[in-house]
Amino acid sequence: MISSMTGFGSKERAILPYGKICVELRSSNHKFQETVLHLPEGFLSLEDKAKKEIESRMKRGRVTCVVNITGGHAQSVFINKRLLKDYILALKNIKRQFQIQDSLNIDTLIHLPGVLSLAENKVSKERIWPGLKILIQQALDELLKMRQKEGRALYAYLKARSESLKSSLSIIKQRFKKAVQKKISQMRTDEERVNFLKDTDITEEVERLTFHINNFQSRLAKIGPIGKELDFIAQEMQREANTMSAKSWDVVISSRVVEIKSQIEKLREQVQNIE
């Protein structure tokens, strides 16, 4: 069964001591496969692993993956005692040398460069990956279910459209046979008849379009990524319909061809959503 390229999936869970990890996946239409990741600062080393996990289960579409980590250990205060000691000794020497009476105070000391800083608690990327991998897989399950659900709706729509095309084409075929016989009977010479048929005969286009519709329906029932293939077939259908429109001289047939072209255009719009 076909799949859509649009979908959404998210999962979150607490992974101690790192905090709550949330994974969100969103996919949209794209000509090829593209994965965009937004990971927390310092997690760039996990990008390739996350990308491979996502792309192993999808063949086409633009996927955006956002990973957020909240509620873990906060940053801690770090005092560089060795540097502070060096500052104090240097300041005392300056005071003695230049006979400065001012006393040293803590406010001055902590503002000296490098004395006080915030130390970020390092998260082991290798230790967090197994839990993150599970969340990505679960979010992918949700996203793929949505893509498959939309795929079923697309299948029903495209199947109905292609059947409608076949019905319209059958009417054109019957109308053309009757209309051409009537028109030819009104002509006086064989040369007139030959020239008329040369410019207006749409038999070949009708047969080709019938073949493309049947081919479209056959591919529609396949499993796997078929969006590009269906789009190519729909382009061929559109080409034959345009040729029929150019050759058409009968009002009824022209009206039906316009309807067919409109149906094919709508069909092509929806094919763009298929993986």
Give yes or no for residue 71 having a pLDDT over 80. no
Q: What pLDDT shows up at residue 110?
A: 82
Task: Write down the mean pLDDT value for the chain.
Answer: 89
Global pTM reads 0.72
12-16: which pairs have CB atoms within 8 A and are 24 or more residues apart? 12/135, 13/131, 13/135, 14/71, 15/128, 15/131, 15/132
Helices (H), the chain: 47-55, 81-98, 106-110, 125-185, 190-200, 203-220, 227-247, 251-271
Q: Residue 13's closest CA among 131, 97, 164, 133?
A: 131
66, β-bridge pairs: 24, 38
Cα 272 from Cα 250, distance rounded (Å):
33
Pick the closest to residue 227 from 181, 275, 172 (CA basis): 275
| pLDDT score of 64 | 97
pLDDT on residue 76:
61
| pLDDT, tens digit, 9 for 90 and up, residues 77-129 | 678 888 888 888 888 888 888 878 777 788 888 888 888 775 544 556 778 89
Better-scored residue on pLDDT, 85 or 138? 138
Residue 127, SS3?
A: helix
Band of residue 72 on the pLDDT scale cut at 50, 70, 90: low
Q: Is the pLDDT of residue 73 over 60?
A: no
* Best CA proximity match to 110, nearest among 76, 89, 87: 87
DSSP letters, 255-269, are: HHHHHHHHHHHHHHH
Q: Which residue has the higher pLDDT, 188 or 12?
A: 12
pLDDT tens for each residue of 201-254: 899 999 999 999 999 999 998 888 899 999 999 999 999 999 999 988 889 999
d(CA 58, CA 64): 13
